[in-house]
Amino acid sequence: MEVEPGTVHAPELGPEWINSPPLTIKGLRGRTVLVDFWDYTCVNCLRTLPYVVEWHNRYADKGLTIVGVHTPEFSFARSRELVEGAMERFGIRYPVVMDNDYAIWQAFANRCWPAKYLVDANGYLRFAHFGEGEYQETERAVQTLLREMNPSVALPEPLDPLRETDRPGAACYRTSPEIYLGARRATIGNEGGLQNQEDRTPFDYKLTSDLAADKPYLAGPWISTEEYVRSASNESQPSALLIYYLGKEVNLVMASIDGEQPASLLQNGAPVAREDAGEDVRFDENGRSFVLVSEPRMYRLVRNREFSQRLLQVVTRKPGLLAYAFTFVTCVAEAAEAAG
């Protein structure tokens, strides 16, 4: 989305910076600024980061300053230490400002993760893009502002797509929406919904015979809170989380209260096939699939070879597993890969 030059001043930035002295839009006059709103648990943000990191590498010495605005979706993501760890994992070397109170988010009237705003050398907003995709369009907008600053600057051709699913011809289908598990936003499929929200005592959830699509279900003992559900299981009574989803990839934001703990994974009643396993999935000597949950982050559970509808189960026999939200990826490299 282009913005007419000289019409909208960019809002100022915040005071808490991780890897940079405090920066201001006013102090960055004379440079092109890309403001990127992100959260380290957001799958859409993580899918855009390889492009943003490469733009920093390409254009920082040509007049571009990228500012990552980390606005947390969950309370644990207010932790500076956790954000720093995520920046190290994803290779983020450009300045990042913490926006824990949503002040910058509100100043930009922002509404989603990820969101990118381009500011010209005079401090005016010139371009905005929301969500994934249109990477070459965004990079060309960066180049336009760099050339306004220096018409003779030598710039490369925009990046080729970094993933097959970003190339022309890729197919993106309707997928299950992001599904939250805390009481503030959850729509649990169990009869009666979430229980014991006020006193936060365990409730033993029962399953019905039919599971509706795109609704999470709980089985066994769970404790519900505003942001997450917490397992209250033991060796004789496991806690299970089920979702009948439509998509190609499945991610789940999780954490563990007491160190590292395993959670078993089943897809359509069987261990996840090795060829369909996400990056965080492991296998025991008997071929059973599981994920080790420790620090709060997004865990990549499933990366199916085909797009279809499946039943996923996450099962733990230990208390203290926190589950926050499911996210799904829909795109496949070619339409012919879809099935089911």
CATH number at residue 122: 3.40.30.10
Same domain as 116, residue 56: yes
151 and 199 in a single domain? The answer is no
Same-domain check for residues 177 and 156: no
Q: What is the mean pLDDT of residues 87-99?
A: 98
pLDDT at 338 over 60: no
Q: How many domains does the chain have?
A: 2
Q: Both 140 and 179 in a single domain?
A: no
Clarify whether residues 68 and 105 are in a common domain.
yes
pLDDT of residue 336: 44
Of 162, 194, 225, the position where a domain reaches its end is: 162
Three state DSSP letters for 217-281: EEEEEEEECCCCEEECCECCECEEEEEEEEEEEEEEEEEECCCCEEEEEEECCEECCHHHECCCE
The string of pLDDT tens digits covering residues 173-212 is 778 999 999 999 988 999 999 998 778 899 999 998 789 9
Give tens-digit pLDDT for 24-35: 999 999 999 999
pLDDT at 122: 97
Residue 190 and residue 215: Cα distance in Å, rounded? 9
Does residue 332 lie within any of the structural domains?
yes
Note whether residue 41 is domain-resident.
yes
Window from 41-50, 119-128, 229-238, 309-318 with minimum mean pLDDT: 229-238
The pairing of beta strand 125-130 with beta strand 229-231: unpaired
* Residue 141 structure tokens: 């907008």
Residues 183, 329, single domain; the answer is: yes
In-domain check, residue 14: no
Confidence at residue 296, expressed as pLDDT on a 0 to 100 scale: 98
Please check whether residue 7 lies inside any domain of the structure: no
Contact status, residue 322 vs residue 241, Cβ threshold 8 Å: no
What is the model's pLDDT at position 143? 98
Q: In this structure, what CATH number is given to the domain that contains residue 246?
A: 2.60.120.260
In angstroms, the CA 46 to CA 44 distance is: 5
Residue 339 confidence class, pLDDT cut points 50, 70, 90: very low
At 6, is the pLDDT very low, low, confident or very high (cuts 50, 70, 90)? low
Same-domain status, 200 and 291 = yes
Q: Are residues 265 and 311 in the same domain?
A: yes
In a domain, residue 186? The reply is yes
Among 78, 131, 70, residue whose Cα is nearest residue 105: 70
Is the pLDDT at 8 greater than 60, yes or no? yes
Q: Look up the pTM and report it.
A: 0.93
Which pLDDT belongs to residue 164?
Answer: 87
85 and 58 co-located in one domain: yes
Q: pLDDT band at 334, cuts 50/70/90?
A: low
Cis ω before 22 (30° cut-off from 0): no
Q: Which of 107, 128, 162 is the C-terminal boundary of a domain?
A: 162
Query: What pLDDT digit, counting tens, does each position of 233-276 carry?
Result: 988 899 999 999 999 999 999 999 989 999 999 999 999 999 99
Answer yes or no: do 149 and 200 share one domain: no
Residue 112 CA to its chain's centroid (Å):
11
What is the DSSP code (8-state) at residue 178? P
Final residue belonging to a domain, choices 98, 129, 162: 162
| pLDDT number for residue 337 | 44
User: How far is 125 from 57, CA to CA, in rounded Å?
Assistant: 22
Question: Is residue 340 pLDDT above 50, yes or no?
Answer: no
Domain span at residue 199?
172-337
